[in-house]
Each structure stands twice: as structure tokens, then as C-alpha cells.
């Protein structure tokens, strides 16, 4: 794969180390491998039931209910079937160049409190395998700390637990996260299966608009930067081969990520934009198209929209305009997908949420699954086709 001029130098390390801090040429265009190492039951109901976890709200709760041994077996079967080599091959065949892999801190088992935290064990070999597949397919890889120690948001299964409060924003939890980041940075630079990992994300979707996250900006982000760079320095990694370090951009609403970082070399930013939850957008076909055709996602640079979908507001889920069985549903959702695609192409690219889903609300809801949307004819096999559709005529 051709490399971006953003690198400021060669990506070939002089030492026998493997990670190359590069970005794909042009735009990042990719999908999240959500549900693999951090299960979100809402989007994979049949799979969750097959694991024996029906009725449980998070991985923590399922492991606690099944017991460690049975849970390990259930999750191993899940890791084997949720994302296969065929999935990675298909992703690469669809004009995509990137996968973002959400991870929980518990994949590094040394930092889990074995007496009080209940998570599946043995996932690392499956992470190594999927990164090898992605490397061999020529895909760029972003590793995302999706579930942080203590949970960065309350009552959110994407943290791996349905925590009553967000417990991440304290010193001892930050320290566990730093150790996780040091561990994964070392692996990225020393294990050839991780050769296409070019970005590590410090934390996914922290609390918004709250003084709770003040120490994340003043302490966690700058210290995390230093700890990652210290590992790289200790390994003899040259600056042009550092990993990119990704943070939620200022538009996310958790403060200015750059405020206390001395050296922003290879800083990278993530912008999540779900129109269904965006205040002020008129909930109608016209309103959604108008918003997506005129929205400006720029800000901290370089930035990508690392999560987005074509799902609509929950309040409008069964409105006639948006029902999936309407005769023109595929046609309209294709236009709206294209409008969002074009918006995110104006920045440094995008990563769709999610690659696949498994029965949401008792139906095959292709609005959340890229694979399902391609099969339904909503997303084209080459996303660049959208440039010729002129979907925003009359909206800009």
C-alpha cells in the first residue's frame, strides 16, 4: 500500500521491529470490528444468546453468571466465529482500507482484579490472529481502548460492564490504562502480526460536557502520550515510526484534547457522529439529508469520523418515512449513506459502525451493519461510486 506524505519520512525501521506509523494514502475508509472483543448485546442478539448470555447486559455480567471456565469456552467459540478470515477478505474487497478494533482493558489479563472483576480470558491469541489477517490483506489497523478500567461511562455495555457510575477518572484507574497502553505499544512494535497497526486510541467516548473528565485532559492524555513514547524510545523506535495516538476530538464535548500535551507529533483525532442522536436535526428524510449534506466535521487535525451509521432517531424508528419495509427504503437509505460518506470524505476519512450485526430488535437491521447493507444493495461494493450520484443536489 502506498504511504501518506503525512509520515514525514521512511516507514522502514532500521531495527527488527515491526510497527510502521503510517496512514493510508488518501482517505481512511473502513469499518469497526465491534462485538468481537467487546460484545454489545443490543446489536448481536442471536450471537449473545448462543453464547449462553441471554438476559445479561454486559460481558462482566455474563462471565459472573456462567462462571469463569464456562465463560472462557463460550467466548472462545464467539471469537472464532464472529470475525473470520473471510470477513477480512471481504472487507478488503469492498474498497475499504482500514479496520478499527475495539478492545477492553481486560484483554491484558495482568491488570484485571481477579477477585472482583469478571471478564473472559484468553482473547489475545484471537486479537493476534485477526491483526495478522488484516496485515496480510493490506488493511490499516487502529487499536481502540474501548472499555477502560472502571468504565469511562456509566451503564454502557461498550465498557464491558454495566457500571453504576463512571469510575475511570481517578489516578489508580489511569495507571491501569497507562500499563495497558505500554503493553499494547510494545506488542505493536515487536510482534510482526501487528505490523499494520499504526494507531492506538487512548479511550473511546469519554463522558461529555462534565467536570468529571477534567483530569482526563489535564492528566490522562498528556501522561498517556509520554508513557507510549517512552516505550517507543526504549525500543529504539525512530520518531517517523511512532504510532499515531488518537483522542476524541474537541467536538465530542470532553474538552480540548491538546490542552496539556507538550509534543503533538503524530497526534490523531476521532469524531463520532450519529445523526440519530444529534440535537437540532429535523427528524425527517429531508432533515437528515439537509444535515448530512451541509454538516462540517472539521476541527482538530487530522481527524476521521470513527463511528457513524444510517440508523434513525429511536422516536422515529417506526415512522412511515423510515421503515425498512417501505418500497423505496433501500433507495432512500442509499442516498443518505452517500450524503454522510461525502461529508466524512471532506476530512481524513471514516470508519463505519459496524462491520456486521446480528438481529437488532428481532430483525436484520442493515442500517448498523456494513456487510448487511452491501448485501441489501444500500451500500455499493465500491464506496467511491457515491461521488457520481449527486445526492446533495438541492441541499447545499
Q: Could you give the CA distance from residue 105 to residue 177 in angstroms, rounded to a whole number?
A: 7
Residue 379, CA distances (Å) to 32, 112, 337, 383 in order = 16, 40, 7, 7
Q: How many CB atoms lie within 10 A of CB 202?
A: 23
Among 59, 205, 232, 345, the one annotated catalytic = 205
Question: Cβ(124)–Cβ(107) under 8 Å?
Answer: yes
Task: For residue 205, indicate whether it is catalytic.
Answer: yes
- Pull the grid cell for residue 251: 467536538
Question: Cβ(167)–Cβ(173) under 8 Å?
Answer: yes
Among 307, 321, 331, 345, the one annotated catalytic = 307
- DSSP E strands: which ranges in the chain? 28-32, 98-104, 140-147, 197-201, 244-248, 267-272, 303-307, 349-352
Residue closest to 94 by CA, chosen among 44, 141, 139: 139
- Pull the grid cell for residue 37: 472483543
- Pull the grid cell for residue 195: 505490523
Measured over the CA atoms of residue 55, residue 56, residue 57 and residue 59, the dihedral's sign is negative
- Report phi then psi at 337, rounded to 5: -55, -45
- Pull the grid cell for residue 263: 509534543
Ramachandran quadrant class, 269 (left: phi over 0; alpha: psi -120 to 50; beta: rest)? beta
**Pairing of β 28-32 and β 244-248:** unpaired
Residue showing cell 470532553:
254
Neighbouring-strand partners of residue 350 = 29, 305
Q: Could you give the CA distance from residue 354 to residue 367 in angstroms, rounded to a whole number?
A: 9
Active site residues: 205, 307
Amino acid at each position: 500500500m502506498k504511504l501518506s506524505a503525512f509520515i514525514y519520512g521512511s516507514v522502514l525501521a532500521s531495527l527488527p521491529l515491526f510497527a510502521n506509523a503510517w496512514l493510508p494514502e488518501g482517505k481512511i475508509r473502513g469499518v469497526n470490528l465491534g462485538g468481537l472483543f467487546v460484545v454489545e448485546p443490543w446489536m448481536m442478539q442471536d450471537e449473545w444468546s448462543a453464547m449462553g448470555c441471554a438476559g445479561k447486559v454486559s460481558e462482566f455480567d455474563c462471565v459472573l453468571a456462567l462462571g469463569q471456565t464456562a465463560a472462557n469456552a463460550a467466548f472462545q467459540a464467539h471469537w472464532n466465529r464472529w470475525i473470520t478470515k473471510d470477513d477480512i477478505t471481504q472487507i478488503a474487497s469492498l474498497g475499504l482500507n482500514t479496520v478499527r478494533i475495539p478492545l477492553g482493558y481486560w484483554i491484558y489479563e495482568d491488570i484485571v482484579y481477579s477477585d472482583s472483576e469478571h471478564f473472559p480470558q484468553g482473547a489475545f491469541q484471537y486479537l493476534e490472529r485477526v491483526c495478522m489477517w488484516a496485515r496480510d490483506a493490506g488493511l490499516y489497523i487502529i487499536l481502540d481502548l474501548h472499555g477502560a478500567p472502571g468504565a469511562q461511562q456509566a451503564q454502557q455495555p461498550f465498557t464491558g460492564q454495566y457500571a453504576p457510575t463512571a469510575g475511570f477518572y481517578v489516578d489508580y484507574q489511569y495507571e491501569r490504562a497507562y500499563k495497558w497502553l505500554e503493553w499494547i505499544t510494545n506488542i505493536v512494535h515487536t510482534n510482526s502480526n501487528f505490523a499494520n497497526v499504526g494507531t492506538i486510541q487512548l479511550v473511546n467516548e469519554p463522558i461529555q460536557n462534565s467536570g468529571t473528565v477534567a483530569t482526563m485532559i489535564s492528566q490522562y492524555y498528556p501522561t498517556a502520550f509520554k508513557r507510549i513514547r517512552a516505550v517507543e524510545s526504549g525500543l529504539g523506535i525512530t520518531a517517523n515510526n511512532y504510532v499515531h495516538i488518537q483522542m476524541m476530538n474537541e467536538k465530542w464535548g470532553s474538552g480540548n484534547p491538546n490542552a496539556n500535551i507538550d509534543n503533538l507529533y503524530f497526534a490523531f483525532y476521532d469524531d463520532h457522529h450519529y445523526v440519530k442522536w444529534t440535537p437540532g436535526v429535523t427528524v425527517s428524510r429531508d432533515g437528515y439529508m439537509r444535515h448530512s449534506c451541509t454538516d462540517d466535521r472539521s476541527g482538530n487535525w487530522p481527524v476521521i469520523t470513527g463511528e457513524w451509521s444510517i440508523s434513525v432517531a429511536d422516536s422515529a424508528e417506526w415512522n412511515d418515512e423510515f421503515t425498512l419495509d417501505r418500497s423505496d427504503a433501500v433507495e432512500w437509505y442509499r442516498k443518505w449513506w452517500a450524503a454522510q460518506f461525502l461529508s466524512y470524505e471532506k476530512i481524513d476519512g471514516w470508519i463505519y459502525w459496524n462491520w456486521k450485526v446480528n438481529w437488532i430488535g428481532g430483525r436484520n437491521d442493515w442500517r448498523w451493519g456494513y456487510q448487511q447493507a452491501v448485501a441489501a444493495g444500500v451500500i455499493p461494493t465500491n464506496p467511491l461510486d457515491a461521488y457520481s450520484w449527486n445526492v446533495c443536489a438541492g441541499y447545499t
